[in-house]
Amino acid sequence: MSGHAAFDTLAAVRNLQGAGMDSAQAEAVTEMVNEAVSTSDLATKADLATLRAELRADLAALETRMTWRMFLVVGALLALATALERLLG
């Protein structure tokens, strides 16, 4: 997938400090979270929309192939039934 989630490190540090964490701890925690987010392979909404469109196209193509195969099988069965009727009838 593409892209990484945006993470506002300055806001995170300020929020942690506002909750009573000292500056060094807030910065260390923020750095750990930022590293985890930036190294993750996260899907964006655009990635999911692209995947959804690809899957829909694949399913439509599969439906078309299955429909043609069904017609071929029905045609073969009708031909077989006709041949058996002529042979036995």
Alpha-carbon distance of 58 to 62, in angstroms, equals 6
pTM > 0.75: no
List pLDDT tens digits, range 15-25. 999 999 999 99
Alpha-carbon distance of 9 to 14, in angstroms, equals 9
Q: Name residue, tokens 């929020």.
A: 15
List pLDDT tens digits, range 25-83. 999 999 999 888 877 777 889 999 999 999 999 999 999 999 999 999 999 999 999 99
pLDDT of residue 2: 52
Alpha-carbon distance of 86 to 2, in angstroms, equals 63
